[in-house]
Structure 1
């Protein structure tokens, strides 16, 4: 199976590109979905997070208080590393289950949706090609503000905590520039990328 690593900064349109690739027959391996699952109420990461960070980071519903943790992790680099040390192994187990299922279905292409592909340092070695969805920082801010209700400063802090745009682009085998185009034009670019991957 061809393994494609899909990444891009927040608000780049990565999820839309992933959905289009799935329409063409790729199997999506969503690292974020596994992360959300293990940090949901009753998730496997909740007790280790409680032990590492305290009850203040567990929401009333029993899941991770994502807003509090996001703010804490973006201002305390060691906290982010400790959180990742809890979550990443659990996410890795979920990803392996997805890969095994895709193999049993006879899928020819896996697309790993990995927001921190560049930051992690390890994923580049585990995929065959890296596809980066890119757009300008202003577009990122406007898209995320519109969908999330976060302030401009909050979005800029998230962008600053992610890999620099130049670093993502340097890691790319192929770039889809999703800025100033409509969905039909984006689909054309995705179709071209998919054909280059043999989809």
Structure 2
């Protein structure tokens, strides 16, 4: 199995690209969905957030008030760091566990939807191809303002909290320009999907892992035979 990562900036259209792979049966690990799951009421991360930030960031239903929490952390880098310290370890562990489960299920490849791929560096050594979804800064701001009902300063704070898009594009294997129509973006995603379908990388990875397992087994067998590595049972 190999991993294809989809990243980009906030409101650049990553979900449009991810859905193309999902519609064709490719398993998706969505970091944003995981981030929402781990802060549901009663969860350990929810309890830590409440302890650090207080009831100010809670709704009457005990759910997180995302609007208030977002405003706080994007105005204060130190508080944003505290939130990341609470949530990122759990997010990363969950991602690793789901990757492992998909690997054991025999999938050829999976897609990791991770907006902060380059910022966190998670799984970088295991990712086969990286797709960055990009658009012009004005278009990004327009979409963000319309989607999240933020003020312009709030929207700008969120954009500037992430690595600049041009740097993400430089570090990627594929860049999808999402300035046009949804149909154009989906067509670009399909071209990459077709390339991934033709890849034999998953066979290479499986044979590599199998080879490593065989080497370990032969080494143990050799040590056992040559040096009497395992103690023999003795009758009393």
Q: TM-score, normalised by structure 2?
A: 0.77
On the 8 A contact 2:28/2:113 being kept in 1, the answer is yes
CA shift for structure 1 position 20 = 0.3
Q: Secondary structure at the match of 2:127?
A: coil
Aligned to 2:195: 196
Q: TM-score, normalised by structure 1?
A: 0.90
Aligned to 1:146: 146
Aligned to 1:133: 133
Aligned to 2:100: 100
CA shift for structure 1 position 123 = 4.1
RMSD of aligned residue pairs (Cα, Å): 1.8
Aligned pair in 2 of structure 1 residues 81, 130: CA closer, same or farther (>3 Å)? same
Q: For 1:58-98, what per-residue CA distance to the aligned partner results, in whole angstroms no more than 9, with x for missing partners?
A: 33221222222212211221211111111112112322342
Of the two, which has the highest radius of gyration? 2
Aligned to 1:185: 184
On the 8 A contact 1:139/1:179 being kept in 2, the answer is yes
Q: Output aligned runs, 1:45-84, within 5 Å.
A: 45-84=45-84
Gaps of 5+ in 1: none
Aligned to 2:223: none
Q: Secondary structure at the match of 1:62?
A: coil
Q: How many residues align?
A: 198
Aligned to 2:211: none
Q: With a CA cutoff of 8 Å and minimum separation of 6, indicate the structure with the bigger relative contact order.
A: 1
CA shift for structure 1 position 172 = 0.8
Moved beyond 6 Å, runs of 4+: none
Structure-2 separation of matches of 1:152 and 1:75 = 13
Q: Secondary structure at the match of 1:87?
A: helix
